[in-house]
């Protein structure tokens, strides 16, 4: 390489030059900005195009001396003469370094860490506390023992099958949920750059081709008691002193969902106006629901108020009564229906034995009304109609004469203390 013909700058000039651009020779320039900042720039021509590449600061902490700047410029000039683009080469070097850093981070991100990070970011949007708990429980029970400490980037189909296959026939619903949660976590990890490639937990076109079809649980067809058998059941429930019996009776009278009833606390109850207000956080549709309380429903609440707990229907430790308490009670009474099915019983009664409009009955069940403007209008105007509907329902439920007791064989069972679950 020919020797530099010009050494235009001195060390003193590097520190003293006014704002401007000053050539030192061999493509090296000193750039002085109006702010006083000074930096080195190498300018080169390649394929007929002039380009600049910064070399670093010329003065101050971490600065590059004039001698070092010249050495860097000489190295870059050799590359240019060899047909190499210094900017492209530096970009490739930086990209490679970034890839190495990313690979290192990915190798340190375990599936457990990725899962816990996903839950922490998303659990606030899950309205149901039980849903949040199920996520943590299923992962801790079935997934973490197998792949918890494995880098999330290395999770593959054999790992997923090792978790899912033992559950597939014995606990198909659990297996399906676990697979879906693994898939979600792996998708999240991929979006955050911790893994690449296809999702090994994907069902369609992948796991579905490996595992046999599972028998699905029926959806939307909860076993319900015929409405004309409800009064006889209510008589049997009133003979029981168990808290689960009061909870079930209250659930039937309000046509509410199990979770709404068991999650109720006293702050939601307005005895003066006979209204139970369920906050939106506990409603399936995410909208606050006002439930008019019939005389019998309010009487039940006053009966259990003596327990002195925050929850209306408390469990043994003061938290909510178990979600299975009412189901176990029905089994003891040898009634083969679901708690949720009583909503269908109410809806059938309202349709067959009353003249209330469809929207009144739907709002009593807290079903969503599609038209938002119509829903806003009906919110206030239908509440008193719903109150009359629920009062009539309570009267019907208490009318034992109308119940077909001969058709419904109920095991009333011995009475028990109200603190008992069943």
- Cα separation, 390 vs 356, in Å, equals 11
SS3 53: strand
Q: Radius of gyration (Cα) for the chain, nearest Å?
A: 36
The residue among 301 and 367 whose pLDDT is bigger is: 301
| Share above pLDDT 90 across residues of the chain, in percent, rounded to a whole number | 34
Domain of 197: which CATH number?
A: 1.10.150.130
Say if residue 187 is in the same domain as residue 47.
no
Position 278 pLDDT exceeds 50:
yes
Name the pLDDT band for 405 (thresholds 50, 70, 90). Answer: very low
Position 411 pLDDT exceeds 60:
no
Asked if residue 161 belongs to a domain, the reply is yes
- Total residue length of the chain: 422
- Cα separation, 57 vs 61, in Å, equals 8
- Cα separation, 21 vs 32, in Å, equals 6
Asked if residue 174 belongs to a domain, the reply is yes
Name the pLDDT band for 276 (thresholds 50, 70, 90). Answer: very high
Tell me how many helices (H) and strands (E) the chain has.
17, 7
Say if residue 119 is in the same domain as residue 48.
no
pLDDT at res. 382 = 81
Say if residue 182 is in the same domain as residue 274.
no
SS3 410: coil
- Cα separation, 310 vs 320, in Å, equals 9
Position 370 pLDDT exceeds 80:
no
| Ramachandran quadrant class, 407 (left: phi over 0; alpha: psi -120 to 50; beta: rest) | alpha
Scanning 82-196, the segments in alpha helix (DSSP H) are: 86-108, 111-122, 129-138, 144-147, 157-168, 172-191
SS3 103: helix
Kindly list the strands in the beta sheet with 38-46, ordered across the sheet, starting from the edge strand earlier in the chain. 20-25, 28-32, 38-46, 49-57
Domain final residue pick, 104, 137, 165: 104
- Cα separation, 326 vs 259, in Å, equals 11
- Cα separation, 161 vs 296, in Å, equals 53
pLDDT at res. 419 = 52
Position 213 pLDDT exceeds 90:
no
Say if residue 90 is in the same domain as residue 131.
no
Say if residue 205 is in the same domain as residue 86.
no
Q: Are 253 and 394 in contact (CB under 8 A)?
A: yes
Q: What angle do CA 399, 404, 405 make, to 5 degrees?
A: 90
Asked if residue 60 belongs to a domain, the reply is yes
Domain final residue pick, 69, 104, 139: 104
- Cα separation, 297 vs 246, in Å, equals 9
Say if residue 144 is in the same domain as residue 78.
no
Position 217 pLDDT exceeds 50:
no
Q: At what angle do helices 129-138 and 111-122 cross, to 10 degrees?
A: 180
What is the mean predicted confidence (pLDDT) over 371-378?
51
- Cα separation, 386 vs 297, in Å, equals 14
- Cα separation, 192 vs 78, in Å, equals 40
Say if residue 38 is in the same domain as residue 94.
yes
Asked if residue 1 belongs to a domain, the reply is no
pLDDT at res. 406 = 37
The residue among 103 and 290 whose pLDDT is bigger is: 290
Residue 52 pairs in a beta bridge with: 43
Position 400 pLDDT exceeds 50:
yes
Say if residue 194 is in the same domain as residue 299.
no
SS3 2: coil
Q: Are 143 and 178 in contact (CB under 8 A)?
A: yes
The residue among 399 and 387 whose pLDDT is bigger is: 387
What is the mean predicted confidence (pLDDT) over 197-219?
80
Asked if residue 301 belongs to a domain, the reply is yes
Position 387 pLDDT exceeds 50:
yes
Position 379 pLDDT exceeds 60:
no
Say if residue 321 is in the same domain as residue 255.
yes
Domain final residue pick, 209, 239, 262: 209
SS3 414: coil
Say if residue 118 is in the same domain as residue 46.
no
For the chain, the domain total comes to 3
Say if residue 348 is in the same domain as residue 301.
yes
Domain of 74: which CATH number?
A: 3.30.160.390
Name the pLDDT band for 41 (thresholds 50, 70, 90). Answer: very high
Domain of 334: which CATH number?
A: 1.10.443.10
Asked if residue 218 belongs to a domain, the reply is no
Say if residue 133 is in the same domain as residue 65.
no
154-158, 313-317, 366-370, range with the lowest pLDDT:
366-370
What is the mean predicted confidence (pLDDT) over 173-181?
90
pLDDT at res. 95 = 74
- Cα separation, 304 vs 118, in Å, equals 40
Extract the tokens encoding 147.
Answer: 């792949």
Q: At what angle do helices 230-238 and 341-353 cross, to 10 degrees?
A: 130
Position 139 pLDDT exceeds 90:
yes
Position 313 pLDDT exceeds 70:
yes
pLDDT at res. 378 = 52
Domain that holds residue 80: 11-104
Asked if residue 340 belongs to a domain, the reply is yes
Asked if residue 348 belongs to a domain, the reply is yes
CA proximity to 178, closest of 168, 187, 170, 188: 168
- Cα separation, 15 vs 59, in Å, equals 7
CA proximity to 153, closest of 216, 188, 110, 90: 110
pLDDT at res. 421 = 54
């Amino acid at each position: 390489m020919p020797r530099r013909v010009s050494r235009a700058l001195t060390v003193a000039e590097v520190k003293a030059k006014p704002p401007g651009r000053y050539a030192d020779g061999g493509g090296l320039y000193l750039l002085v900005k109006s702010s006083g900042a000074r930096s080195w720039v190498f300018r080169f021509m390649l394929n007929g195009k002039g380009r600049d590449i910064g070399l670093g600061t010329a003065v101050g902490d971490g600065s590059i001396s004039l001698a070092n700047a010249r050495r860097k410029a000489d190295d870059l000039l050799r590359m240019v003469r060899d047909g190499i683009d210094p900017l492209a080469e530096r970009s490739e070097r930086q990209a490679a370094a970034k890839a190495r850093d990313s690979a290192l981070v990915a190798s340190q991100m375990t599936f457990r860490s990725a899962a816990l990070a996903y839950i922490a970011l998303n659990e606030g949007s899950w309205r149901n506390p039980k849903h949040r708990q199920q996520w943590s429980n299923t992962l801790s029970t079935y997934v973490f023992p197998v792949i918890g400490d494995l880098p999330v980037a290395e999770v593959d189909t054999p790992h997923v099958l090792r978790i899912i296959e033992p559950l597939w026939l014995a606990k198909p619903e659990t297996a399906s949920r676990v697979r879906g949660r693994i898939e979600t976590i792996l998708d999240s990890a991929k979006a955050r750059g911790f893994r690449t490639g296809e999702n090994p937990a994907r069902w369609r076109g992948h796991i579905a081709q490996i595992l046999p079809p599972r028998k699905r649980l029926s959806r939307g067809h909860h076993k319900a008691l015929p409405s004309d058998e409800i009064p006889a059941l209510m008589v049997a429930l009133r003979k029981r002193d168990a808290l689960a019996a009061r909870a079930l009776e209250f659930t039937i009278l309000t046509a509410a969902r199990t979770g709404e009833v068991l999650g109720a606390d006293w702050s939601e109850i307005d005895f003066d106006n006979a209204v139970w207000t369920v906050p939106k956080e506990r409603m399936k549709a995410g909208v606050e629901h006002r439930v008019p309380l019939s005389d019998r429903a309010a009487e039940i609440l006053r009966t259990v108020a003596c327990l002195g707990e925050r929850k209306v229907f408390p469990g043994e430790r003061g938290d909510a009564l178990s979600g299975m308490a009412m189901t176990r009670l029905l089994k003891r009474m040898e009634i083969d229906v679901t708690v949720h099915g009583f909503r269908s019983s109410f809806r059938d009664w309202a349709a067959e034995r009353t003249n209330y409009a469809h929207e009144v009955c739907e709002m009593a069940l807290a079903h969503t009304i599609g038209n938002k403007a119509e829903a806003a209008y009906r919110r206030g105007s239908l509440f008193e109609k719903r109150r009359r509907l629920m009062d009539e329902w309570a009267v019907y439920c208490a009318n034992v004469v109308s119940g077909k007791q001969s058709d419904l064989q109920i095991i009333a069972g011995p009475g028990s203390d109200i603190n008992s679950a069943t």
